[in-house]
Amino acid sequence: MSLEEWWNLLKDSGWLDEASEDEAERIKAEAEQYADDPSWAFNALAASGGDAECIENDGDYSKWVVEAYEEASGGVFAPKNVKDAVDWDRGVATVSFEVGGKVFQTEFAQEDDYVAVEVHEFMNEVMAALGEPKRFYILPTDDQTYGLVCVTPETYERACSLGLIPNQEDWPPAED
């Protein structure tokens, strides 16, 4: 598929209906770098992301992870009083914050320096508790980095079914 076809399918998916005008312009500009191989253009959808191998000390979830989710949300998720701690002796981490006038906290296993999968699940539970229809999704990757998007489940599923976002199991494509 060409980049123009990719862009037209993105419009058809409803993705741009959920994006601000500035966000749509950002996506289009970033997608241009994939003109030679539009199969990678889905990376332009990520409003945020990071390195999944970044948890070493207290404060790392606040600095690297919660901030990435806030940025990806486009203003929908704006936590305050973010706190986190990693207890390496017990192999657990905690994250807490206030958003929408409510306090949310979770504790989860932290066995290495990778962002725990439970944090992603927790962020989507918070979105649901706030009555927000959008959810966070981690885009497919071929390394330890990740890209985050925040759209409704229907839009994400439509984008996937239109071939705009590959399945993680099929990514990256095998080299010939």
Strand ranges of the sheet holding 145-151, from the earlier edge strand across to the other edge:
48-51, 145-151, 135-138
Q: What is the pLDDT along the chain (176 residues), one digit of tens a residue?
A: 899 999 999 999 999 999 999 999 999 999 999 999 898 999 999 999 888 778 888 988 888 899 999 999 999 999 999 999 999 999 999 999 999 999 999 999 998 988 888 999 999 999 999 999 999 999 988 778 889 999 999 999 999 999 999 876 655 555 54
Are 163 and 172 contacting, i.e. CB atoms less than 8 angstroms apart?
no
Domain-embedded: residue 141: no
Residue 43 lies in a domain: yes
Residue 59 included in any domain: yes
- In a shared domain, residues 83 and 160: no
pTM assigned to the model: 0.90
pLDDT at 122: 95
Q: Does residue 73 sit in the same domain as residue 11?
A: no
Residues 55 and 89 in one domain: yes
Residues 6+ apart with CB under 8 A from 5: 38
- Asked, for residue 172, whether it belongs to a domain, the answer is no
Q: 143-172: b or e for each residue (b if 16 or more CB lie within 10 Å)?
A: eeebbbbbbbeebbebbbebebbbeeeeee
Choose among 128, 101, 142, 118: nearest CA to 61.
118
Give yes or no: residues 30 and 85 share one domain. Answer: no
**25 domain-assigned:** yes
Range of the domain at 92: 49-136
Total domain count, the chain: 2
Considering the domain boundaries, does residue 175 fall inside one? no
The verdict on residue 39 lying in a domain is yes
Domain assignment of residue 30, yes or no? yes
Residues 11 and 35 in one domain: yes
Do 34 and 101 reside in the same domain of the chain?
no
Please report the pLDDT score of residue 175 as a whole number. Answer: 58
Q: What are phi and psi of 55, to 5 degrees?
A: -100, 110
